[in-house]
């Protein structure tokens, strides 16, 4: 896409020299001689630096030409930085204040400088530390409703939406990672798979489970062909940074057009998994139960807020070609518009449950695991908790059309969490 | 998209002068001085010339910068000729021999020279003349299975599919016509709508029918967001030319990525409507019944052939990322692969019924009507037959998830056709 002959990975020493001439950064940080740089990337794909100067601090994210989680043997296009910048710009405009402020983007260097979110903490870490984030569910519910609705043919001018669909179709390499790692690998003996010792039987059972694999194939087809809206594409709780009063969504390099239920389902799945892991992170059972209840309540608030905000936007901003206001409101049929909304929300909900089942499966049996489970030193305990989560995820995937509400899904999680 | 300053509409006089220097055409036709040119376009959008020379004949199709059916007040991009050429090239490669041979494409002139199909006749005309086309259903079923399967993520390399998705997203103007004329206008008081006198009550009933409009909104969302494969996009029986032994698909300017059921449903709807119109075109009731039975049988053969060929390709060419052979066949589970096929075919079938309901509605209540009804001079008879077809179309749209088979759908058509 771009001439990348000038591309060179940054490091803590070269960064001030290479970026110290940019006025937007000097404004924020003060003189480059005084910058303190540390590399803090703990994700799977990129370099991340925190740069502190006399006047303030920023974050600099730079894509590497390979997947960091695997190494240089897995080359990966630098274009993902371009797509991340395009996506964050759109997502930020659709729900202002919920993404980091973008300061400088350099496509040739695959480098994005942005607001340093502080004292924010990755949501996953807060979950392990037992820190309650009382606004998390509300913020994520609003974010999901606004970004998913406003990137769709229910809202956007259709030519702009089609142009965006075409643009993000170019992010095929990262889409391919999701297609393979989320929807296929957990259900076969894939080379990159790994799981906690003791889960051999359930891993084998998943590979032999025809009904589950049929669900995986169906959800994969939904993901690949259901081009409803611009998704974040990787909205797990490691892509969320929060304080008790603020929530931000980061890391949008997987952005693509897909079904609304994907972002919702991945997000819910990660809240549920954090609840399943609680027992290992709290000093006593009562604290684990209480924090687990906070996480399930957060899932509940997330979906109910999503639903309410989506309904509000449906009533007030349904200006796209799928709006159908010409068929309903314009003919005095408000109830018809509401019925169309219910149909759509039901489909998003069922998709979300299916995708949540996939996300749980792949985070325990596939390549990329979650910190809440990975940090459990007691392997036996870890396997036991993961096993419960897997059973829950499988149930979601198979019964996605029968689970009527978030309360019903939470009750299933609660029940499964209490299993021996 | 292109510099069109040199664009100039062809006419019978200027055509030999302007195209007479092209060796591919001289090879086919002989010297340009001897060319005989007639304009035969009876479609809604383009100029079409038959050019005959001493050595043979060709067809030249040129897009006009407006919609011919409405006039210069409806400007329309010439880029549709580009998309038609791109689409016909792909569709022809996916089912060789079922599209016209392409000879010359001139993007700046929005002009495509192709094989002159002779003695082929537009399928619609054969239906009005009562000419049986015994291979029509088989050919269309094969064509649909091959083009729809081979343009999808079940078959194509995914980066090529995503590039095509992006390419055809550019054909937004023609997609917009379908979105508006098929899925919205028939269900509201749209300026371009027209219907046979005597249908005022059913037209008003359709505009007030909440359940039907909910189906319309759902099918429109499927059409706009269900990017399964490269569709012809306008596969009515005026886009099919046939002899008793050959069938060709033409006029692909509406091509876009969409759900497989759209091409299938539009095609079936036009066979069913032709059956509803038979009574007006045959000398006696027995002949009308017999030809109607041929048309319903053709619908049956089309779907059963589609199903069989799609199943064959599923077993033998499922190489795309949605294939899932890694989850089934590779693990010795052939039955799992068949179950996934059944799920997919059921979804195509239900979509097809929904789209057929839309197509029937819009061809009777919207802007663009079909010759089988339009040529019925007896207005009362025309209204009576169209009313039956509308009732059938509405039933399909509302009951698309309950009609189990093509035989059941044909039986419904048969019953509705016999109504007073």
- A115, A130, A161 - which closes a domain: A115
User: pLDDT tens-digit profile of A369-383?
Assistant: 999 999 999 999 999
* CB-based burial, A319-347: b 16+ in 10 Å, e otherwise: ebbbbbbbbbeebebeebbebbbeebbeb
Whose tokens are 């829950």? That residue is: A392
- A96, A115, A134 - which closes a domain: A115
Q: What is the ipTM of this complex?
A: 0.94
The whole-angstrom distance between A407's CA and the closest CA on chain B is 27
Confidence of residue A4 (pLDDT cuts 50, 70, 90): low
Let me know whether A138 and A277 are in one domain: yes
Let me know whether A82 and A224 are in one domain: no
Q: Which two tokens stand for residue B221?
A: 């969302």
Residue A250 has pLDDT above 60, yes or no: yes
Phi, psi torsion values for A297, nearest 5 degrees: -60, -40
Let me know whether B19 and B163 are in one domain: no
With beta carbons less than 8 A apart as the criterion, state whether B38 and B49 touch: yes
Let me know whether A57 and A141 are in one domain: no
Let me know whether A97 and A203 are in one domain: no
User: pLDDT tens-digit profile of B145-179?
Assistant: 999 999 999 999 999 999 999 999 999 999 999 99
Q: How far apart are CA B125 and CA B112, in angstroms?
A: 24
Assigned domain for B3 exists: no
- Residues in B 148-167 with any Cβ partner in A closer than 8 A: 152-153, 158-159, 162-163, 165-167
Assigned domain for A6 exists: no
**Nearest Cα residue in chain B from A323:** B217
Let me know whether B91 and B134 are in one domain: no
Structural domain tally of chain A? 2
**Count of beta carbons in the 10 Å neighbourhood of residue B9:** 13
Assigned domain for A278 exists: yes
In CATH, what number is assigned to the domain containing residue B371?
Answer: 3.90.1200.10
Let me know whether A155 and A89 are in one domain: no
Q: How far apart are CA B234 and CA B304, in angstroms?
A: 21
Assigned domain for B88 exists: yes
User: pLDDT tens-digit profile of B252-293?
Assistant: 999 999 999 999 999 999 999 999 999 999 989 999 999 999
Q: How far apart are CA A100 and CA A249, in angstroms?
A: 7
Let me know whether B86 and B222 are in one domain: no
Residue A2 has pLDDT above 60, yes or no: no
Q: How far apart are CA A254 and CA A235, in angstroms?
A: 9
B338 Cβ neighbours under 8 A, 6+ residues apart: none
User: pLDDT tens-digit profile of B382-394?
Assistant: 999 999 999 999 9
Confidence of residue A347 (pLDDT cuts 50, 70, 90): very high
User: pLDDT tens-digit profile of A33-83?
Assistant: 999 999 998 767 899 999 999 999 999 999 998 877 777 888 888 999 999
- Listed in sequence order, the DSSP H helices in B319-405 are 334-365, 371-374, 379-398
pLDDT for residue B70: 77
A343 Cβ neighbours under 8 A, 6+ residues apart: B214, B217, B218
Assigned domain for A259 exists: yes
With beta carbons less than 8 A apart as the criterion, state whether A136 and A268 touch: no
A63 Cβ neighbours under 8 A, 6+ residues apart: A45, A46, A47, A76, A78, A80, A81, A84, A110, A111, A253
A84: containing domain: 14-115
CA dihedral B409, B412, B413, B415 (to 10 degrees): 160
Residue B2 has pLDDT above 80, yes or no: no
Assigned domain for B5 exists: no
DSSP 8-class letter at B331: G
* CA distances in angstroms from B341 to A344, B198, B322, listed in the order given: 25, 45, 11
Confidence of residue A107 (pLDDT cuts 50, 70, 90): very high
- DSSP 3-state of B344: helix
In CATH, what number is assigned to the domain containing residue B61?
Answer: 3.30.200.20
pLDDT for residue A74: 82
What share of chain B has pLDDT > 90, as a percent?
Answer: 92
Compute the radius of gyration of chain B from its Cα atoms. 21
| Helical (H) or strand (E) element with A74 | strand A71-75
Let me know whether B353 and B367 are in one domain: yes
Assigned domain for A9 exists: no
The phi-psi region of residue A97 (left if phi > 0; otherwise alpha if psi is between -120 and 50; otherwise beta) is left
Q: Estimate the crossing angle of helix B210-225 against helix B172-183, to 10 degrees.
A: 160
Q: Which two tokens stand for residue B4?
A: 């069109």
- A93, A115, A137 - which closes a domain: A115
With beta carbons less than 8 A apart as the criterion, state whether B105 and B79 touch: no
Assess A386–B contact: CB distance below 8 Å, yes or no: no
Average pLDDT, chain A: 95
What share of chain B has pLDDT > 70, as a percent?
Answer: 99
DSSP-assigned beta bridge partners for residue B114: B59, B102
List the Cα angle B259/B263/B267 in 5-degree steps. 150
Let me know whether B154 and B80 are in one domain: no
With beta carbons less than 8 A apart as the criterion, state whether B215 and B354 touch: yes
Let me know whether B97 and B187 are in one domain: no
- Residues in A 218-277 with any Cβ partner in B closer than 8 A: 218, 220-221, 224-228, 259
CB contact under 8 A, B339 and A162: no
Assess A93–B contact: CB distance below 8 Å, yes or no: no
Let me know whether A270 and A289 are in one domain: yes
Assigned domain for B9 exists: no
Nearest of B248, B249, B246, B222 to residue B235 by alpha carbon: B249
Q: Which of B172, B224, B331 sits opposite A188 (nearest CB)?
A: B331
């Amino acid at each position: 896409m771009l001439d990348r002959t000038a591309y060179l990975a940054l490091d803590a020493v070269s960064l001030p020299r290479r970026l110290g001439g940019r006025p937007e950064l000097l404004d924020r940080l003060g003189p480059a001689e005084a910058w303190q740089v540390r590399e803090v990337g703990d994700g799977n794909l990129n370099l991340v630096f925190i740069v502190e100067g006399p006047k303030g601090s920023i974050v600099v994210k730079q894509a590497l030409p390979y997947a960091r989680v695997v190494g240089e043997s897995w080359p990966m296009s630098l274009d993902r930085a371009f797509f991340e910048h395009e996506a964050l710009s759109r997502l930020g405009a659709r729900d202002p204040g919920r993404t980091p402020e973008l300061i400088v983007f350099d496509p040739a260097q695959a480098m994005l400088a942005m607001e340093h979110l502080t004292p924010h903490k990755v949501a996953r870490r807060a979950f392990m530390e037992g820190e309650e984030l009382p606004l998390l569910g509300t913020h994520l519910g609003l974010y999901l409703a606004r970004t998913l609705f406003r990137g769709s043919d229910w809202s956007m001018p259709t030519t702009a939406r089609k142009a965006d669909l075409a643009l993000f179709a170019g992010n095929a390499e990262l889409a391919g990672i999701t297609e393979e790692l989320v929807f296929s690998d957990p259900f076969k003996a894939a080379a990159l798979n790994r799981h906690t010792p003791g889960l051999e039987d359930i891993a084998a059972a998943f590979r032999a489970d025809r009904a589950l694999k049929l669900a995986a194939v169906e959800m994969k087809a939904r993901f690949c062909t259901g081009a409803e809206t611009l998704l974040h594409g990787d909205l797990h709780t490691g892509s969320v940074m929060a304080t008790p009063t603020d929530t931000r969504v980061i890391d949008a390099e997987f952005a693509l057009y897909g079904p609304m239920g994907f972002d919702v389902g991945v997000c819910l799945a990660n809240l549920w998994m954090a609840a399943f892991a609680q027992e290992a992170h709290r000093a006593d059972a009562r604290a684990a139960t209480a924090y687990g209840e906070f996480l399930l309540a957060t899932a509940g608030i997330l979906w109910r807020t999503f639903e309410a905000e989506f309904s509000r936007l449906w009533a007030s901003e349904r200006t796209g070609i799928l709006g159908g206001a010409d068929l309903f409101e314009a003919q005095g049929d408000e109830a018809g518009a509401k019925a169309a909304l219910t149909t759509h929300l039901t489909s998003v909900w069922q998709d979300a449950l299916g995708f949540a089942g996939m996300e749980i499966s792949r985070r325990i049996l596939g390549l990329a695991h979650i910190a809440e489970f990975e940090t459990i030193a007691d392997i036996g305990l870890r396997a036991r908790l993961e096993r419960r989560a897997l059973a829950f995820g499988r149930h979601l995937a198979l019964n996605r059309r029968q689970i009527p509400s978030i309360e019903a899904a939470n009750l299933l999680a609660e029940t499964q969490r209490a299993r021996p």
